[in-house]
Amino acid sequence: MTDTSTLRILEPAPGVFAYYDGRVPGVRLHSTAANWLDDGAYSLGIASYAIVGGDEALVFDSHISLDHACAVRHHLEGLGVTRFTLVLSHWHDDHVAGNAVFADGPIIAHRLTREALAANRDKLEGGYPPIKPLVLPTDTFDDGLMLTVGGRSVEAMHFAIHSADGVVLWLPDAELLLAGDVVEDTVTYISEVEHTTTHIAELGRLAALPARRILPAHGAPDRIATGGYDGGLITANRDYLSRLVVGEGRDGTPLSAFVAGDVASGRIGYFQPYEVVHAANLKAVAAAGL
């Protein structure tokens, strides 16, 4: 069993719910030993989302454990939801751990997500903690896919940011973007360093969407609860990567100083655990010779 007592249910927009856990000082959910759940997702804070319309829900990512996914489903069933569609933002462990809870409905993902999950099945099922059973998507797409929930249009869109299979959900009626891991607060985690220049270009393409509000998977709960971020979050993430690839930050400047301008402007906040992410990003960029 995974403790869900610190899970917070937020409603950042009408009909849109965020299921946020983490950023709780001194709390670990799985183990005192190093593990992906505590030292990545939970320490940085993570939200999955649901768009609700009548008896339908479009769930965006299945959270960090089966118990978290069950809590999400229980809340939605309490709202009268009987039909569930799960959409995956990408293949990483903290976004697919609860897939089995939604296996009685469609599980939609980018084609590359399904391929990555199949290729990494042994790693994910044998991880610490294990994701077992790992349930694969039932439906895939390439460039984009139009969906509806309760008559509301939602577009799943592919952006090769953070991961080659990155997917966001765009709600044009609210000019609202559910961003998955393509942007983060405080800074993005570089998981595919060889594609960093592609990620920067794709962030420019993402910025062209007329998004008034952005809801990332990894962000500050207070910002998410009050409606999310504006386009400055995309700008901050793009500028951060651009500065890394030209060699900035290799003098040991801490993240707090490196992003001080973006923090002062309100584009992002500063969360100390991201110092570890920043250090890992610098090491990856240097090793890749960027």
pLDDT in tens, 210-233: 999 999 999 999 999 999 999 999
Q: Report percent pLDDT > 70 for the chain.
A: 100
Position 283 confidence tier, pLDDT thresholds 50, 70, 90 = very high
pLDDT in tens, 60-94: 999 999 999 999 999 999 999 999 999 999 999 99
Domain presence at residue 41:
yes
pLDDT in tens, 244-253: 999 999 998 9
Can you give the pLDDT at residue 200? 97
Domain presence at residue 254:
yes
Quote the tokens at residue 115. Answer: 């391929």
- Choose among 34, 64, 31: nearest CA to 47: 64
pLDDT in tens, 131-155: 999 999 999 999 999 999 999 999 9
Position 117 confidence tier, pLDDT thresholds 50, 70, 90 = very high
Tell me the CB-side half-sphere exposure of residue 256, using CA atoms within 13 A.
3
As a whole number, mean pLDDT of residues 27-48 equals: 96
167-171: strand order across its sheet: 144-149, 152-158, 167-171, 176-180, 213-216
Can you give the pLDDT at residue 197? 96
Domain presence at residue 2:
no
User: DSSP states of 125-148 as a string?
Assistant: HTSSS---S-PPPSEEESSEEEEE
Domain presence at residue 249:
yes
Domain presence at residue 173:
yes
Domain presence at residue 171:
yes
Can you give the pLDDT at residue 1? 87
Q: What is the dihedral of CA 48, 240, 142, 118, to 10 degrees?
A: -60
The rounded Cα 266 to chain-centroid distance in angstroms is 20
- Give the separation between CA 125 and CA 66, rounded to whole angstroms: 13
SS3 for 239?
helix
SS3 for 284?
helix
CA angle 155, 158, 162 (to 5 degrees): 130
**Tell me, what amino acid is at 224?**
I
- The CATH number assigned to the domain holding 233 equals 3.60.15.10
Q: Is 20 exposed, middle or buried (0-12, 13-18, 19+ CB in 10 A)?
A: buried
- Give the separation between CA 52 and CA 49, rounded to whole angstroms: 10
Q: pTM for the complete prediction?
A: 0.97
As a whole number, mean pLDDT of residues 267-274 equals: 98
Position 290 confidence tier, pLDDT thresholds 50, 70, 90 = confident
Domain presence at residue 1:
no
For the chain, what is the domain count? 1
- Give the separation between CA 121 and CA 82, rounded to whole angstroms: 29
Instruction: Share the mean pLDDT of the chain.
Output: 97
Is it the case that residue 238 has pLDDT exceeding 80?
Answer: yes
As a whole number, mean pLDDT of residues 169-186 equals: 98
Position 23 confidence tier, pLDDT thresholds 50, 70, 90 = very high
Domain presence at residue 47:
yes
Instruction: State which residues form the domain around 284.
Output: 8-288
Secondary structure tally for the chain: helices H, strands E: 12, 12
